[in-house]
Each structure stands twice: as C-alpha cells, then as structure tokens.
Homo-oligomer: A and B are copies of this chain.
Amino acid sequence: MNQPITAADKTFIALRDDIVEGRIEAGSKLSETELSTKFAVSRAVIREAINRLESCHIVERKANVGARVVALSPQGLIELYQVRESLEGMAARLAATNMTDEEIADLSALLQSHFDEVKGGESYYQEAGDVDFHYRIILGSKNKHLISMLFDGIYHLVRMYRVQLGMAGPRVTTAYDEHKHIVQAILNRDAELAEMLMRRHILYSKNSIEHKLS
C-alpha cells in the first residue's frame, strides 16, 4: 500500500487527504455518485475507498443512507489521545526490548539532528520531525497490530485534528527533552520507564492542546 496500485488505492488516499486537510469539511455527507464523477472512477471504486475510510474511523456509514465525514469535537480529541497514550506507551515498552542496537543508534542520530535544528534557532522542530520520532518507536515495537492501528487508523485522525483545529504542530520547547529521556530509557533497555515516559509525553501533549482550545 506504500505504493498505491489499484484505482481504489489511489482514490482512497486522495479522498483521505482531502478530508484530513479539510478540503472536504468535517461532518459533510459523501455522495457516491458525486465523488465518482469528481475522481473519474466508477462507484465501485468509490465505495471501496469509503469502506476503507470507515475502518480508519474517518467516516461513518449508515446502511441505505450513506457516509458522513466524522465530526470533530473536543471530546473526540480527548478519546483519541487516550488511545494514543495507551498504544504508544505499549509501543515504547516493546521498543525498549525489541529494537536492535542499530535502530536505537539511528533514533539517537535523529534526535541529535533535531537538537541541532532547535539550537540553530530555526526552531524548526515541527510536525514532520515529531511524527518521524514517534514512527520509529512504533515500528520498533515490532508488533503488527500496534503498527497498523496507529499508522492506518489513529495517526490520520490526529493529523486531521491538528490541521483543522489549527494547532501549530507539537510543543517545540519541552518536547525535545521528553524525547531525549525516552530514547535514553530505550537505550538502557528499561521497558517500564520507556512506557511511563511515553505516556507522560502524550499526556502533556494532550494537555497542551486542550489548553490551546480553551
């Protein structure tokens, strides 16, 4: 799926991006016929794309009625971060035992490059870097279910909230230190601590966002 092959793949990704980026607004109805003309594919392809979006929890469907883009709400965001805390905490725990020394070294290098950017005054410790950090740890868990749940499901939703509620990326200043401590715990193969630190990290992140929203 990294290389979209079929028309349904491409349509799924295009539609998902349209929704996540807000070009199709949250809560709006998805008409199959309308979309099929817009994307120049048959309704079967659109239906498959919508089905996949549904399993990502990006749209909701009712039989014989149709599909709507999910509505964003503060409550929904909180629930999302609760799941993130749970899953990514476990991912950090597993990563501490399952990552190879090489992978940990790479992770350290990534962190160092972030440090250089922050120090350089660019303060360009933006979403891309943060996401990359979390990605590596999730992959490091080597747990198929964790990986797919987070990558295919949760992360696009998180991004949708980020984009549409206009949060300017993750917290720049303190997040770096938190990342550093997590890497240190993984380096020490301290699974318990890695999980705890990751959960705190996400909890702080959630609190920060809630604060911005209020």
Contacts and interface: CB of A to CB of B under 8 A. Distances in A.
Interface of A: 5-6, 9, 44, 47-48, 51-52, 55, 57, 63-64, 76, 79-80, 82-83, 85-87, 89-90, 94, 143-146, 148-149, 153-154
Given A6-B63, A51-B48, A63-B5, A143 B57 contact: no
22 contacts: A5-B63, A6-B63, A44-B44, A48-B48, A55-B55, A57-B145, A57-B148, A76-B144, A79-B143, A79-B146, A82-B94, A82-B145, A82-B146, A83-B90, A83-B143, A83-B145, A83-B149, A85-B90, A86-B86, A86-B89, A86-B146, A145-B154
A86 B84 CA distance: 10
Given A51-B48, A148-B57, A9 B82 contact: no
Given A51-B51, A51-B52, A55-B52, A90 B82 contact: yes
B79 A5 contact: no
B9 A63 contact: yes
Contacts of A48: 47-48, 51
A141 to B, nearest CB: 8
Contacts of A144: 57, 76, 79
Given A6-B63, A82-B145, 14 more contacts: A5-B63, A5-B64, A9-B63, A51-B51, A52-B55, A57-B145, A57-B148, A79-B144, A82-B94, A82-B143, A83-B143, A85-B90, A86-B90, A87-B87
